[in-house]
Structures are given as C-alpha cells and as structure tokens.
Amino acid sequence: FRFYKLSTSLNNTTYKRELSELLPSIPSTAETMGLPATVTNFDRQQRNQAVLELEKMSLSPNKSGDLSQAIASAQKISPGEPLYQQAQKNIQVWSQMILDLAQEKANQREYIDAIATAELINKNTAFYRQAKTLIAKWQLEAKQYLSNQTLLDTAKALIRPGQASTYNRAIEVAKKVPPGQPGFEIAQTSINQWSEQILELAKNRAAQGDFNTAIATATLVPKQTIAYEDAQDVIKKWRNQ
C-alpha cells in the first residue's frame, strides 16, 4: 500500500493531481450506497487488553501501519494454541482502531490516506465489508471534493481587487457547489466573505460622496449572503442622501 502525506489546501495543485490520478471512477450507484450498521464497539476491558498487547510489541495504537503489523503477527497463531482466542479478539479490536483512524482522515478530507488506511482491513475480520463500503463512499466524496475545489479556484480567479462586479461573478460560480457535498461549507464561507468585500467597496464609494456608484455597487450583494441585509439598509440610506 502507498501512503501519502498530502495537504488538503484548496490551492495545492499536487494534491489535486494525485487525487485525480489515484481514484478510480465510481459508479453512480455509489452515490446512494448506504453504510452498514456499525459493528458494536468492543468493551473497555477488551480494548485495553488489545492496547496493552501493542505496547508489549512497542507498537502504537495511533499508527495504522503498527496496527496492521500487530494483526499480521496475531494471524500467525494457529487454532488450538493457548493464545489463539485472545489473538482473534485482538485482531478485531485492532481492525476497528484502523477503521477509526481512516475515518478521522476522511473527516479531514485526507481521502487518499483514508482509503489507503481502510484497505489495511483484513478480509477475515468483521470490519471488512464496512471498510469496503467506506472506501467506495470516500472515493466518491474525493471526486466531488476535487470537482468543487476546481469550481472555487475558478471563482477566485475571476476576482479583481477593487472591482465589485468580479466578486459578484465569483459568487455566482461558487454557488454551483452543491449542498451536502464536500467543499460546500468552504464555498459558503467564500461567498459570504466576497459579499462583505462588495459591501465594503460600496461604503468606500459612499464615503467619497459618490452615492449613485455606491448604490449600484451595493446592489451587487446577492440575496442569502451575510452582507445582504446590511446592503439593503445602506442602499435606502444613500437613496435618501
């Protein structure tokens, strides 16, 4: 397995290229694919015992490679041997810990690492099917994230400082990021920031006594943005002036 330590920065071209090259195409059915019920968490005593076994081997519970190594060692214990039953319990706990680490990476939009980590789950564990389902889900999310970041990069490229209309055009492009998809919250943050910048430009023009231009600028603040209500208030004020 190949592991990647890549930044999830919106402007990281290398990350985007790696992501697009490594992810297979996902069938449309993956979009509606439901996740299986989560396997019941192991009791504290069983988990503590598994962690203790890791410590004996000088392995870390926070490193997927170490957990995979521990699983490989435990699988060498044959049925009938004294430690076999405990080894099987440890394998299940360590597998869950690997999947937990993979989920953490996916939550941070580190999809390549998340997928590579989940692929360490062995076929002979209760977590294998769940891992395969999550991998398909993350592959789809990764493609959506990459597509949405490209949209946001396109939007940012339109902006020309001091030109309110360019912020407005950038907002219209950023609105194309679908709700619920990875990157939507980032798009909404950008949209609100750009709306505030339009309003700031309008206020600067009003401060110079150019109320007509100020009003025209403020009308570029779109509805459903954080600056919209303020923009409407100052438009009324400037019209009176």
* Whole-number pLDDT of residue 47: 87
Q: How many whole angstroms from its chain centre is CA 196?
A: 26
User: pLDDT at residue 224 above 50?
Assistant: yes
Q: What is the mean pLDDT of residues 21-48?
A: 52
Q: How far is the CA of 149 from the CAs of 38, 124, 200, 230, in angstroms?
A: 31, 37, 26, 29
209 Cβ neighbours under 8 A, 6+ residues apart: none
pLDDT of residue 115: 97
Predicted pLDDT of residue 19: 56
Alpha-carbon span 210 to 6, nearest angstrom:
48
pLDDT per position as a tens digit, 178-216? 999 999 999 999 999 999 999 999 999 999 999 999 999
Residues near 81 by beta carbon (within 8 Å), at least 6 away in sequence = none
C-alpha triplet 89, 106, 156: angle, nearest 5°: 175
User: Taking 50 as the threshold, does the pLDDT of residue 9 lie above it?
Assistant: no
pLDDT digits (tens, 9 = 90+) for 114-140: 999 999 998 888 899 999 999 999 999
Query: Which pLDDT belongs to residue 124?
Result: 84
pLDDT tens-digit map of 136-178: 999 999 999 999 999 999 999 999 999 999 999 999 999 999 9
The structure's pTM equals 0.69
Q: Label residue 52 exposed, middle or buried (CB < 10 Å: 0-12, 13-18, 19+).
A: exposed
pLDDT above 90 coverage of the chain, percent: 73
* Residue 168 pLDDT: 97
- Give the tens place of pLDDT for each residue, 41-57: 568 888 888 999 999 99
pLDDT of residue 241: 81
Q: How far is CA 119 from the centre of its chain?
A: 19
Mean pLDDT of 225-234: 97
- 234 falls in which pLDDT band (50, 70, 90)? very high
